[in-house]
Amino acid sequence: MEDAVISLHMSPARRRRLGVAAAAAGLLATLLTAGPAAATPDPGDTATARTDVSAAQKAEATAAIRSGEIPGVDEIVHSSNITHLANVPKDALKGLNTDLAFQGKYAFAGNYDGFRIYDISSPKSPKTVAQVLCPGSQNDVSVSGDLLFLSTDSSRSDNSCTSTTQPATEKSSWEGMKIFDIRDKRNPKYVAAVETACGSHTHTLVPERKNVYVYVSSYSPSDTFPDCRPPHDGISVIKVPRQAPERAAVVNFPVLFPDGGNPGAPTNPGVSKTTGCHDITVLPSKDLAAGACMGDGLLFSIKDPENPRIIDRVQDNVNFAFWHSATFNQKADKVVFTDELGGGGAATCNEEIGPKRGADGIYDIVGRGDHRKLVFRSYFKIDRPQADTEVCVAHNGSIIPVKGRDLMVQAWYQGGVSVWDFTDSSKPKEIGYFERGPVSTDAVTTAGPWSAYYYNGYIYSNDIAKGFDVLKLDDRRTDSAKRVRLDELNVQTQPDYFDR
């Protein structure tokens, strides 16, 4: 299907929200030559089951498509400053697509069934280099030098890539970090595994010359889980020697919430109880990190990477349900936190939910040193209407490196990809977008971009259902970013774009 282009200056009907209710919410890597065995995702970022909608909701979605309020099923629309260059559908890995990392001419794409490596030397025609079968939700991926890191947050029978699902109530079950040697991109080799308390939902690298430190975020302990019992009030810190990754080991478990963190309901109705962190972003050039930790947002120092130290902590018990991820601006005087309302399984981009829930929260960093504070300024949420069958929520994004401006590209599941400006912390605004219409008008279905990141002049998006997308952004406000070139990008390890 050819792209259908809709101007950024849309008609009132296109901007008007749908007035419907939200939906409820050993070590051996196998290079694929045939279809993989299905992985079984555990509860996490994304719902896997389709949820039926009422006849009225289905009828309203169908009417919205006919009237042009929303795109048709699978129809592609975008603003005039974005061009859709390529889509690479899923192939051997049939699971849900997840996070992205970049190195040189390669993109690394996580999938609940493993990971895929693309050659992106020609962004218009990405080529698959390898597909590695290694089931284990979510399989978030990062790279540093010759090493690739893969998160496993589903209880497995062992630490191999041929493991099967096994209850977390069994002591022998395994969850944690897997490490691959990627010197040969066509033949990654699984070289190490480190078990971590409550698994590894996401992870963040703090690279050094001889070692790579890995901050492992995980949550939801239970008294019935032998390796994941409460209190789970911190993160695992893994030290990985670059020349001997097989010696990787947990070296610390710093307590980030000595008071136990946000208690959640019933004290704070609708807010997640803090039992760990969901995601951490570090800015090594500034020795800073920002943590999105369920019911809490954190600012902390990583001057000593083995012993991170809290500087400030904030909560939003009115509009934030689940602190999901964080992004610094280049000057490190702002942080954007995302709220994953509905756990990535609900339609939250509609009139019922409104513009302040399931949104981004923009915080200024005020003060100096250990006296710095996170000060709330505003919310940002896409105002393009989505049907009640479209799971839509603020998700993973990155800054677009433009001096003097704070610009970001971000994934919103079936809300698509949004490019937005938060230079004025109090008045954020969208300046570009790309999205597909509903996957279905019959049921709430998890799909759309999980991650959308800017890398070396292009936007790359890993769509949960539709595959790997490449977008080109042409806009006088962002064009200078095309001159910024990186050798490597893990978005949760933010580079200093202008002092390298």
C-alpha 277 chain-centroid distance: 13
The DSSP-derived string for 254-311 is -BS-TT-S---TTTSTTS---SS-SEEEEEGGGTEEEEEEBTEEEEEE-SSTTS-EEE
In this prediction, residue 43 carries a pLDDT of: 36
CB–CB of 235/261 below 8 Å? no
Give the span between the Cα atoms of 164 and 187, in whole angstroms.
23
Average pLDDT taken over every residue of the chain: 91
Residue 467 is predicted with a pLDDT of: 98
Torsion of CA 107, 110, 113, 115, to 10 degrees: 30
Supply the pTM of this predicted model. Answer: 0.92
* pLDDT of res. 110: 98
What pLDDT, on the 0 to 100 scale, is given for residue 50? 63
pLDDT at res. 52: 80
Report in angstroms the alpha-carbon separations of 380 from 22, 55, 120, 290, 294: 19, 31, 31, 18, 19
| Contact present, 448 and 436 (Cβ < 8 Å) | yes
The two counts, helices (H) then strands (E), for the chain are 2, 33
| d(C-alpha 253, C-alpha 192), whole Å | 20
Q: Which stretches of the chain score pLDDT less than 70?
A: 1-50, 500
Residues 181-189: contacts with CB under 8 Å, at least 24 apart: 181/146, 181/147, 181/148, 181/245, 182/117, 182/143, 182/146, 182/147, 182/148, 183/146, 185/106, 185/117, 185/129, 185/130, 186/129, 186/130, 187/31, 187/130, 188/29, 188/117, 188/130, 188/132, 188/148, 189/29
The confidence score (pLDDT) of residue 139 equals: 98
